[in-house]
Amino acid sequence: MNTPTPQKSLVSRHDPDALAEGVLAGNSAQLGRAITLIESNAKRDQEASRRLVAKLLPHSGKAIRVGITGVPGAGKSTFIEAFGMYLCKRGLKVAVLAIDPSSTISKGSIMGDKTRMEELSGQKNSFIRPSPSGGTLGGVARKSRETMIACEAAGYDFLLIETVGVGQSETTVRSMVDIFLLLLITGAGDDLQGIKRGIMELADLLIVTKDDGDNHQAALTHQQELKMVLHYLQSPTPGWKPQVLTCSAVEGTHIDSIEQTLESFRVGQIESGEWYQRRRRQSLQWVRSLVHESLLESFETHPDVAARLPIIEQKVSIDRMDPVSAAQQLLAAFSFPVEN
């Protein structure tokens, strides 16, 4: 499918029609370029990016979208490597994406260490894309949604979306995926207190990682503790009772039971109709977040607002103006048409 066409060298990466064609043909190099266009912050790329996504959207939606979170070091990348390999060996196409809320600050990327996915990245059925950097989490989230659309249009069966467990990003990822996995490690006895209840309530499946060697017994004990805790928590998914499994990504044990659990989740959800209902709700959330982002951008770049903001902020900071009046004045400046 990857046969280069004679015109290839003439095709600019900004030509959305040519890119869409390449993506739909399953060409991973073209998919990479399409994502680069989607992730571009340049104003001049926005129209091309919008056209590209519009062309790909009708071909999306067939993949299983899996969110994967856990604290740094929980074993997310190693798990994705093992799980991704398991799926590839069954002839499935796997795309790995990352959402990293910290990338704005550090300019780093949670998948800078592709070394953890060395075997998977060598598979012809896999596609690994590190987190986009730059922009707010909102901006990153918008791009990630569109990147997911592109991967689905390219024919990937599984989308594995890694995010680091720091709070805000989980809710964002949960709003984009069908099933959400929380990876947990054994160790500190008070671990359970460290995990925010809110994050646990987003997860459909809890996985205690590193269930191997000396850690085996501790992993089983932790699994039992977590099962008890789950009794008191709400499920994020109607008709599904969250479960706790253990696995060793290094030894490759229980990866198959995780895949089977995902499959029974998918089948049950499709039968009950919840699978598509969730996706419909997510589309509506997507619309709202696009509107919010766009409004915020117009607000912040509005000349009157931009001119008054530093003065008003200064007044608030020295108690010369109260926050409510400050907000009202800025919103009033935003509502008036710009005079030239």
Ligand X SMILES: Nc1nc2c(ncn2[C@@H]2O[C@H](COP(=O)(O)OP(=O)(O)OP(=O)(O)O)[C@@H](O)[C@H]2O)c(=O)[nH]1
* CA of residue 134 relative to chain centroid, distance: 15
Which of ligand X, Mg ion, none has residue 27 at its interface (CB below 5 to 8 Å by kind)? none
| Cα–Cα distance measured from residue 218 to residue 187, given in angstroms and rounded to the nearest whole number | 8
Interface pick for ligand X out of 78, 121, 133, 289 (rule CB under 6 A): 78
Tokens 């989490």 correspond to: 137
**b (16+ CB within 10 A) / e for 229-244:** ebeeeeebbeebebbb
| Cα–Cα distance measured from residue 51 to residue 23, given in angstroms and rounded to the nearest whole number | 13
Residue 246 CB, nearest approach to ligand X (Å)? 10
The contact mask relative to ligand X for 135-174 (x = CB under 6 A, - = no) is: -----------------------------x----------
Interface pick for ligand X out of 70, 130, 132, 155 (rule CB under 6 A): 70
209 binding ligand X? (CB under 6 A) = yes
Q: Considering only 5-13, 66-74, 231-239, 321-329, which stretch makes contact with ligand X by CB under 6 A? A: 66-74
4 binding ligand X? (CB under 6 A) = no
Please answer whether residues 56 and 149 qualify as being in contact, where contact means their C-beta atoms are separated by less than 8 angstroms.
yes
93 binding ligand X? (CB under 6 A) = no
117 binding ligand X? (CB under 6 A) = no
Please answer whether residues 116 and 284 qualify as being in contact, where contact means their C-beta atoms are separated by less than 8 angstroms.
no
Which of ligand X, Mg ion, none has residue 68 at its interface (CB below 5 to 8 Å by kind)? none
38 binding ligand X? (CB under 6 A) = no
| Cα–Cα distance measured from residue 218 to residue 223, given in angstroms and rounded to the nearest whole number | 9
3-state secondary structure 71-108: CCCCCHHHHHHHHHHHHHHCCCCEEEEEECCCHHHHCC
Please answer whether residues 245 and 257 qualify as being in contact, where contact means their C-beta atoms are separated by less than 8 angstroms.
yes
Residue 173 CB, nearest approach to ligand X (Å)? 14
77 binding Mg ion? (CB under 5 A) = yes
Interface pick for ligand X out of 28, 40, 248, 261 (rule CB under 6 A): 248
Which of ligand X, Mg ion, none has residue 167 at its interface (CB below 5 to 8 Å by kind)? none
Which residue ranges make up the site for ligand X (CB under 6 A)?
A: 70, 72-78, 110, 116, 164, 209-210, 212, 248-250
